[in-house]
Structure 1
Amino acid sequence: MDIYVNGIKFEDEALKCLSEERTEGLQATARMTVDPDEKSFIYLLDDGEGAGRVHFGEKTWRMLRDHHGSEIILNTDVILTDFWDQLDHLVDTIEGNSYGEAFERAVKETFKQ
């Protein structure tokens, strides 16, 4: 199941991520990966039977950068645990990971300023 974050607001010291997809019953896995073709960081969720993928596309990256360290909540019911450790690791190791030049450049321009 793919879940696309289509809005983020900073409220009550947390980044509240909004998606049109349902998230009830999904559990955080504390794991992330990337989709370089879509220019997305992907947080993995578990529903007990399969995986869900929360896509943080390039349009969300500035909010993530500007509010680094805040609690991340998806649709008011899923707290994305270890989000920052996972994201920081991906950003720090982006160079030379064969994700493609366009993705690497976009990540550097946003997160390594």
Structure 2
Amino acid sequence: MRKTYTVQKGTIQDSHIQFDLQENVHDIKWRPAGQMITDSDDMAFIYLMDEEDGYSYVKFPQAVWPLLVETLQSKVNPMLKWNTEQIELVNFQDELQSLIYNIEGNYNYGEVFTTTVEETFAELLSEA
């Protein structure tokens, strides 16, 4: 069964961004899948994590999108932290950037989601 974990907040330290999980996570043996998708109904980006018997979602809700902008500007993959563990979210930059460019002007994601992404990531989209 797929589990969803939500990023509660993030911090910037020496141009490195670290996202913190909201949930208390125990005994997880996962590794970054290097892929992202969207949940346009819930206004979130989702990073996939491989597990022994499937995969889990790490959800990035709209509240942390300003840090997603900073992540793309930093050109460094962010870290994900839970309890005392942390892991690099590989391929995060490329996946998020590809999604944002695909969402721009594409109302298949829903008008509200598309418009919000365009507004939040306007500076990055104007550079393309």
TM-score by length of 2: 0.81
**1:20-31 pair list within 5 angstroms:** 20-21=22-23, 22=25, 24-31=28-35
CA contact (8 A) 1:13 1:71 kept: no
CA contact (8 A) 1:31 1:86 kept: yes
Q: CA deviation at 1:97?
A: 5.3
Asked if residue 71 in structure 1 is aligned to residue 77 in structure 2, the reply is yes
Write out per-residue CA displacement over residues 39-94 of structure 1, whole angstroms, 9 at most, x where no aligned residue.
10100001111111011111111111123223311114221000010000000010
Runs of 5+ consecutive residues of structure 1 not aligned to the other structure: none
Distance 2:109 2:70 in 1: 24
The one of 63, 78, 95 equivalent to 1:86 is 95
Aligned-pair Cα RMSD in Å: 1.5
**Counterpart in the other structure of 1:110:** 120
Relative to total residues, which structure has the larger helix share, 1 or 2? 2
CA contact (8 A) 1:44 1:51 kept: yes
The alignment of Structure 1 onto Structure 2 pairs a total of residues equal to 113
Amino acid at match of 2:120: T
Distance 2:46 2:108 in 1: 17
Q: Which of structure 1's runs of 4+ aligned residues deviate more than 2 A?
A: none
TM-score by length of 1: 0.91
Structure 2 residue matching 1:16: 3-state secondary structure: strand
Runs of 5+ consecutive residues of structure 2 not aligned to the other structure: 124-128
Which gives a bigger RCO, structure 1 or 2 (Cα 8 Å, sep 6+)?
1
CA contact (8 A) 1:18 1:74 kept: yes
**Counterpart in the other structure of 1:3:** 5
Distance 2:70 2:87 in 1: 21
Q: Which has the larger radius of gyration?
A: 2
CA contact (8 A) 1:25 1:47 kept: yes
